[in-house]
Amino acid sequence: EAARERERADDAQLVHLVRAMDDCERTANELAERLAEWAGSRFDEVAPGIEGARAVADREPDGETDRRVVSLAERVVDLGAERDALAAAIDRIAPAVAPNLAEMAGPELAARLIALAGGLEPLAKKPAGTVQVLGAEDALFAHLSGRAPSPKHGVIYTHEHVRNTRPEDRGSAARAFAGKLALAARADHYAGERRPTLHEDLRKRMATIRARAEDDEGDEEVGDRGSAHDTEAADE
């Protein structure tokens, strides 16, 4: 019971961490854009983003206005460092809160899924189809009001299992990945220990999907393109 209590506390902290990280990144980028415009009016050229801010922060200010430009650059650099420190904390805490989910999705995406669901318990109770489109709420709403096709993936798109799969296989990859993530979340919430078969199953499923692309590449080489490997009905 105390462990369950602690899990809840920890997954809530993970949610705060990932939201704070996103806010730091967003505000750093917004201020970096303002800085680049301003510093570009005073110095020769300023690269965009945090890298550009770092170069400005290293300058020796000459006069009051310069001092403000350099100081604004320091704020941008600080927010970038804060973002990185929050990411490092997530890397440490996510595997403790959700070992299977963190191993499968990586600590950041695991934290993001927990945040989107509002905690580990609500995530563990969601069907795989919902996990698949978490973070694509706008697209899902457009679909439900008849204005768009059903979204294939939400935030899981950021994972290489989905992103590095060719477009015609992406739907199957997203569905397979989301299915295992849903099981991982349940294992983490209800059992709390690593479930090796889960990871092995996913590895095999992804190898099968990737094999299609390699098959097709072979087909293409011998001029035979048309054998329909994208029979979605075969996917789980």
Q: How far is the CB of 41 from a copy of itself (least distance, A)?
A: 6
Q: Does 37 bind a copy of itself (CB under 8 A)?
A: yes
Q: How many CB atoms lie within 10 A of CB 60?
A: 6
70 sits near a copy of itself (criterion: CB under 8 A): no
Among 51, 65, 211, 220, binds a copy of itself (CB under 8 A): 65
Q: Minimum distance from CB of 188 to a copy of itself (Å)? A: 19
Residue 24, interface with a copy of itself (CB under 8 A)?
yes
* 92 counts as binding a copy of itself under rule CB under 8 A: yes
* Cα torsion 114, 116, 118, 121: sign: negative
With beta carbons less than 8 A apart as the criterion, state whether 36 and 48 touch.
Answer: yes
Q: How many CA atoms lie within 13 A of 155 on its CB side?
A: 18
Integer Cα distance of 91 and 108 in angstroms: 7
142 lies in the binding site for a copy of itself (CB under 8 A)? no
Count of residues of this chain found to bind a copy of itself when the rule CB under 8 A is applied: 30
Check binding of 31 to a copy of itself (CB under 8 A): yes
Which range, of 27-35, 138-146, 183-191, 193-201, touches a copy of itself by CB under 8 A? 27-35
Q: 127-131, long-range: CB within 8 Å, 24+ apart, which pairs? A: 127/182, 128/175, 128/178, 128/179, 128/181, 128/182, 129/178, 131/156, 131/178, 131/181, 131/182, 131/185
Tell me how crowded residue 216 is: count the other CB atoms within 10 A of its CB.
19
Binding segment toward a copy of itself, per CB under 8 A, in 52-60, 76-84, 119-127, 182-190: 76-84
Q: Which residues bind a copy of itself (CB under 8 A)?
A: 12-13, 16-17, 19-20, 23-24, 27, 30-31, 34-35, 37-38, 41, 64-65, 68, 71-72, 75, 78-79, 82, 85-86, 89, 92-93
